[in-house]
Structure 1
């Protein structure tokens, strides 16, 4: 570790005091915003994270946009939140683009020899994924209690350090686990200002000396029944792409249909899956625990989206195991409008049903429960 703190590059190791000289932030805490330095410093401690039920790090599985770094939000016990004092740090991450700040990630690596002063390795600058900025995940905390945490999905913003020790460990085995329905922060998130702002696009950053820019438009595998979070329904995301619009439509459609199922007295949630050998966590869009029906939603009824939904639901449904139901769940694709006749034929071949929203707003399909039942 060098003595100079004037410049910190990816891979450099510094104390928090030295980091503060360059990037600002508070002397303690995991999420440390700095207005003067246009930065939100994210400190990760692998030992602490594992104790409270999560891992921060790179996913081994890349997508078409490259690698994703997962960073779990603030809150070591109970459900994490964006609201109130407890959600201050999480809001700082979510709003970093609007406020012209760069996300900077550090991981603890040790201590200064002969002292208790911790040292941290700088991974680099990041920005929130513009399509899926965060997901909700069910984990087992240090006290053995299950809780919901916010997992932010970060994309590299320039040069970053991507090394094997920072990759999330893969799941060792596949285990299905039922978690009773819990009402968490859905209603608060839909009205909280934190979800009303624009999200940044990759490569948007504030460099030293420049004015801030306005934002651009578990060791085991587990399958978990959890409450869906409608983060996408109220966000104004400026990434003007068909994928972004589809994600927003998908979130709105899923929430609307979940409301219908709830009104019919059904117990609903999402279904979370970790698969042996994978570092990423899978999540089916909607699960009806009363009727044992698994849904995969899409924001359009295009051939491409129907085929994608078909593959996903055939994959996810293999892992859904509920003690009160025999066998795999009924598989249904949720769409904003009816697909073409040949897509119905394709889905019938694989015994996958369809629920879609009609022009008058009603949901149509064999799996749709009557509100009078």
Structure 2
């Protein structure tokens, strides 16, 4: 049983060793200086995550911090554990992803200076969080300390109660210093798993939609776009085409732009939408225009919108007027592919 009581209040300053002593068992105490995701299962059923901006830079990423958020409220981006090679959605990252199903309360801490004397890192308690049910994580790419390109998973954490959350401007994701276009491999149909772990396909490839319970009530999360690209990538492979994408970091901004798909063989950039509506097509046109200007050989780069069905004649005319090609799914494949 714990020997020292620690009350988790926003702004509390403590150390990992003190938290392990107060909430954990011997195993948790041994992990006090190990990866940034630490389960405290018995008897407290908590999951502590520690964000350390300085250590993040050393490990080849700099994605942690508060983002601009969205209509549902603020979001804290938290990079999963695994300093070398591709990160996986199993192990401790899997525990974080599925913390609600495992009955674990998620609590966020940020490294904030050092304790004197002793030099232990000071951990500031931010508050209780939950992994976003609708959009739990995004993939990011960066180089590890050895210079190898690798995938990292950035989890999107939302405060359970914003009034009980220590949100400070200094904890925001920092804007990029320069614009960088990073070529990245094509998405994988199945997320990589740890050795010996059972493979599990992502929901976006298995179902047409899922029901996510979020603070604003039930919300239908459409997975058609994921299914559309799975089918299109298979179509490209059968046609002998090579494809990939890019991660575009823009100077002065905190977000990363990631086009849906780049057909290397035909030098075509695709943006896909799960619904064939005018609003979606207009959005895709704008996204393609934004991506295109950052890429090399933009003057010869062709752009196309990928849709699950044929749009109306006027939407087709809009695409033609904007110089954007159209590819849409049919019963037998994809109309408009390959581009003329």
Instruction: Tell me which residue corresponds to 2:221.
Output: 245
Instruction: Tell me which residue corresponds to 1:365.
Output: 336
Cα displacement string for residues 195-249 of structure 1 (whole angstroms, at most 9, x for unaligned residues): 67xxxxxxxxxxxxxxxxxxxxxxxxxxxxxxxxx67324784227997533x11
Name the SS for the 2:145 alignment partner: coil
1:20 CA drift (Å): 3.0
Closer, same or farther in 2 for the Cα pair 1:187/1:135, shift >3 Å? closer
1:362 CA drift (Å): 1.1
1:117 CA drift (Å): 2.6
The gaps in structure 1 that reach 5 residues or longer are 197-229
Asked whether 1:334 is paired with 2:306, we answer yes
| Separation (CA, whole Å) in 1 of partners of 2:284 and 2:86 | 30
Closer, same or farther in 2 for the Cα pair 1:68/1:193, shift >3 Å? farther
| 1:221-236 → structure 2 map (5 Å cutoff) | 232-234=204-206
Asked whether 1:33 is paired with 2:39, we answer yes
TM-score normalised by length of structure 1: 0.78
Asked whether 1:81 is paired with 2:81, we answer no
Cα displacement string for residues 315-356 of structure 1 (whole angstroms, at most 9, x for unaligned residues): 1222222xxx56252111111111111111111111111111
Is 329-338 or 94-103 further displaced after alignment? Answer: 94-103
Is 289-298 or 311-320 further displaced after alignment? Answer: 311-320
| Separation (CA, whole Å) in 2 of partners of 1:133 and 1:345 | 37
CA contact (8 A) 1:79 1:184 kept: no
Instruction: Tell me which residue corresponds to 1:316.
Output: 291
Cα displacement string for residues 57-91 of structure 1 (whole angstroms, at most 9, x for unaligned residues): 33443322232211111111111112xxxx31111
| Pick aligned residue for 2:107 from 98, 104, 113 | 104
Instruction: Tell me which residue corresponds to 1:217.
Output: none
Asked whether 1:299 is paired with 2:274, we answer yes
Name the SS for the 1:178 alignment partner: strand
Closer, same or farther in 2 for the Cα pair 1:249/1:165, shift >3 Å? same
TM-score normalised by length of structure 2: 0.85
| Separation (CA, whole Å) in 2 of partners of 1:112 and 1:61 | 31
Closer, same or farther in 2 for the Cα pair 1:110/1:234, shift >3 Å? farther
| Separation (CA, whole Å) in 1 of partners of 2:35 and 2:323 | 51
Instruction: Tell me which residue corresponds to 1:48.
Output: 55
